[in-house]
Structure 1
């Protein structure tokens, strides 16, 4: 939609022209795989727990006992 306007040298669109262009772009981009990829890329949601666990940098340690003051 937007490309058609640009080809006709139209650089400003009205509110009534905006919605069809937005809706067409929305339909093309809001796919299940694209949404999952966005979350995965931003590391906002773990889709594979093994991958998340493998990236953790954990070191086990034993706390030292607290000495009692007399």
Structure 2
């Protein structure tokens, strides 16, 4: 992974299931340090899938519809 406006900020990411949270920052004052560790925020797989879909990506994991235990609404 490389910050678009700072090629000196790069990180090799090998993860299996959203287990390496990172912040990707911008700005010239952070040159070489624009990719930083981030705190883990407990998002569900469904939330992560939605977020990735909104930016045109797919998640690298599969989850079963049976895992979603909230009541579903009829529209």
- TM bucket (normalised to shorter chain) is under 0.3
TM-score under structure 2 length normalisation: 0.27
Task: Give 1 or 2 for the bigger CA radius of gyration.
Answer: 1
Q: Which structure carries more relative contact order (alpha carbon 8 Å, separation 6+)? A: 2
Higher strand share: 2
Higher helix share: 1
TM-score under structure 1 length normalisation: 0.28
